[in-house]
Chains A and B, each alone.
Chain A
């Protein structure tokens, strides 16, 4: 594309040299601000909910607890995440390709639908008119306005995703782009998964909507669950693919990392598209109506193809970081590179927190409880939210926060505020999430139910059996969860404060200072490196490993995985009841 053509629709960024479409820029701003507002609301709710489940505090009255829990789930899992992801989709399909947005009006229509639908759904939940949780399982009934609002939101999101495809295809047809950058490729996978999950969600919610209007009978609860989890977990697979893209992006930004094998990384992303939706069925492992062979095949064959993809990324990203450090001569021995990576850079810290917590806690716990047998110990206990807080909150959200520290200053053209706080933020947040999830996970592992106001059963009279009475363990676990929540919400507030401060009060500049950002991150041609290792790494390093440090770390991780997986079978055998 010629310089003249490019500058008719936008500005040239003085930091990255990318051409920024003006409409795309405004829509990224709108989605990002909306996302952060939802994150702030969800965070306040999170604190109130955690302080209620911490039995010693037991803050909220019963109805308020269920109302806020419903709202928290919807606001965090759907609204915060999807507004942020649409901002990411717009960025990846326009700015990053130096391409123009095809139909800005379509983007704005999508935004208006998503905003309107999400606001109505949230207000209905907050005011106790749709206290049906994130899942709204029939025959539990919400008012038609609730299903309608969620459907309007979902259709808006579908329009935004289709617009992403149109932007990418148009850029290719104009010749602006041949091979997509890996980041955009990962978001392309996320967009494909998003279409699938939003369609599944519509298939579940349209009958529920018609039923709430009295036009048809209640949806079959088993079929609803099957369709619903195509959205409920499908949306989390969207997060996964987007997060993987951001992991690669953060590694490139903060240490100039380049994927060691572009092809392998892309194959692993394609594996997600093909197989990861199969994982949605692990919500149905304790359900009647699904034959054991379907469960087994789905969750333990197709699903593991996606697990393998995650394990490939878990290797490829640290490997890219290690190789970048070695190429710059910043490494000696096995782990010298780990001493020299920029731990104080918020983008790198977010990457480390997100990758380690997602992989070690979220990934391993997910595979174990996703097995059809061990699932019976975990189904609907607190270990389920512990797992997905490690994936979506500690993993995805930390990664989204990390990339925001670069995209917000560049898109809003403002200097990042409160740099010292930003530096500490990923660590505070990651530490709080770790404590929260250890407490919540152990409480669920002990046997405490999720979505429950009072496990002491203090209001059930002579029938009451206090689950906290027999031993001190669950009481302590809930306290750990509560303390972790306070720290994690503090970390979240630090993020919101710095972003809101930057957006409204940051010094205007076309060249915001981005800390350690690698000059190579946006350079279209790779910088020359010594040793000719570009040509064929395997040949150039005949006999030696390129990334020995990462290999050792990956093997340690695999050993931990095998040990915990093995232990889960011992746990299962310890249940004082045989069941088949």
Chain B
């Protein structure tokens, strides 16, 4: 017959026994809760949520991406803040943003309520795209050699800082970009 022993001594004989009433109840609840969380993430939220994690990705040579960003900037530039170009991405189109130690370029100008494909990549090291709404933030990992692609639709107008939240060297805290959402 099963006996209970301290967790510090070797059990003797058969220590396997059926679950008591308390354990059956708890284990049952735990399994139901695990399944509920699974269903929420895999089925329910993708069906009802407008904020989901469908990151698309491309492989890219950092130099090629840089050229894309330069062409995007030249074609859509609307101004400059302290030497950094401000670029109005075409509504419904692509918005390029390049991370490099230690800058985010260009500053992006978007229209509220319009959808964009945001294309993020890095020229050198790993960086962290963090769009700070204050309160709350939206965050993606940015890797050299990969493009992180996200469909975004801004819902609030204003100027929001883009900070780097992946350590990228001793000037990490200098990286500052901007997303300007116009009505």
Interface of A toward B, CB cutoff 8 Å? 62-63, 66, 96-97, 131, 133, 135, 137-140, 177-183, 220-222, 225, 245, 248-249, 251-253, 256-264, 284-290, 292, 295-297, 299-301, 304-305, 307-308, 311-312, 315-316, 319, 367, 371-373, 375-381, 445-455, 457, 459-465, 467, 470-471, 473-474, 518, 520-526, 534-538, 541, 544-548, 550-551, 554-555, 558, 561-562, 565, 569, 571-580
Contacts and interface: CB of A to CB of B under 8 A. Distances in A.
Contacts of B76: none
A381 B130 contact: yes
14 contacts: A135-B167, A179-B15, A181-B11, A253-B8, A292-B55, A311-B26, A372-B53, A446-B137, A447-B130, A457-B176, A520-B6, A525-B12, A558-B29, A577-B138
Contact of A447 (B27, B81, B136, B145): B136
Contact of B53 (A295, A319, A459): A295
Nearest to B179: A577
Contact of B136 (A300, A535, A575): A575
Contact of B34 (A308, A457, A518): A308
Interface in B15-47: 15-23, 25-27, 29-31, 33-34, 37-38, 40-42, 45
A453 B156 CA distance: 29
Q: Considering the complex of A and B, which 6 residue pairs feature the smallest CB-CB distances, nearest first? A: A447-B137, A449-B165, A288-B57, A576-B156, A248-B7, A182-B7
Contacts of B1: 534-536
A377 B137 contact: yes
Interface stretch (B66-74, B90-98, B120-128): B120-128
A4 B81 CA distance: 84
B141 to A, nearest CB: 5
A572 B53 contact: no
B134 A471 contact: yes
B150 A580 contact: yes
A551 to B, nearest CB: 5
Interface string B113-156: 00100000000111010111111111111011111111111111
A373 B51 CA distance: 7
A373 B5 contact: no
Nearest to A572: B51
Given A452-B165, A462-B82, A522-B6, A377 B138 contact: yes
Contacts of B41: 296, 299-300, 371-373
Contacts of B131: 577
Contacts, number: 357
Given A62-B173, A301-B42, A577-B154, A308 B31 contact: yes
A264 B23 contact: yes
Contacts of A547: 22
A139 B154 contact: no
Interface string B149-183: 11111111001010111111110111010100000
Given A380-B128, A574-B136, 12 more contacts: A62-B173, A97-B10, A180-B10, A221-B144, A288-B148, A300-B37, A367-B37, A447-B137, A457-B176, A518-B6, A525-B5, A538-B20
A513 to B, nearest CB: 19
A181 B9 contact: yes
Interface of B: 1-12, 15-23, 25-27, 29-31, 33-34, 37-38, 40-42, 45, 49-58, 81-82, 84, 115, 124-126, 128, 130-141, 143-156, 159, 161, 163-170, 172-174, 176, 178
A128 B22 CA distance: 55
Given A296-B42, A537-B20, A460 B176 contact: yes
A222 B57 CA distance: 11
A180 to B, nearest CB: 7
Contacts of B8: 96, 181-183, 249, 252-253, 521-522
A125 to B, nearest CB: 13
Nearest to B120: A288
Contact of B146 (A264, A288, A546): A288
B145 A449 contact: no
Given A379-B128, A577-B153, A312 B30 contact: yes
A378 B167 CA distance: 16
B45 A569 contact: yes
A176 B53 CA distance: 53
Given A139-B144, A575-B136, A578-B152, A304 B176 contact: no
A452 B5 contact: no
A398 to B, nearest CB: 18
A180 B135 CA distance: 51
Contact of B137 (A260, A295, A381): A381
B173 A576 contact: no
A562 B36 CA distance: 10
A285 to B, nearest CB: 6
A94 to B, nearest CB: 14
Contacts of A548: 22
B155 A577 contact: yes
A62 B102 CA distance: 15
A315 B31 CA distance: 14
Contacts of A451: 165-167, 172
A520 B163 CA distance: 57
Contacts of A454: 173
Contacts of A449: 128, 130, 163-165
A447 to B, nearest CB: 3
Nearest to B36: A562
Contacts of A138: 126
B86 to A, nearest CB: 12
Contacts of B151: 578-580
A460 B172 CA distance: 11
Contacts of B3: 526, 534
B178 A545 contact: no
Which of A474, A537, A545 has the most chain B CB within a 10 Å cutoff? A537
A286 B10 contact: no
B15 A575 contact: no
Contacts of A252: 6-8
Nearest to A293: B42
A467 B138 contact: no
Given A249-B8, A447-B132, A538-B18, A578 B29 contact: no
Nearest to A245: B7
Nearest to B164: A449
B55 A286 contact: yes
Nearest to A474: B134
A571 B9 CA distance: 47
Contact of A538 (B21, B53, B140): B21
A29 B143 CA distance: 44
A300 B38 contact: yes
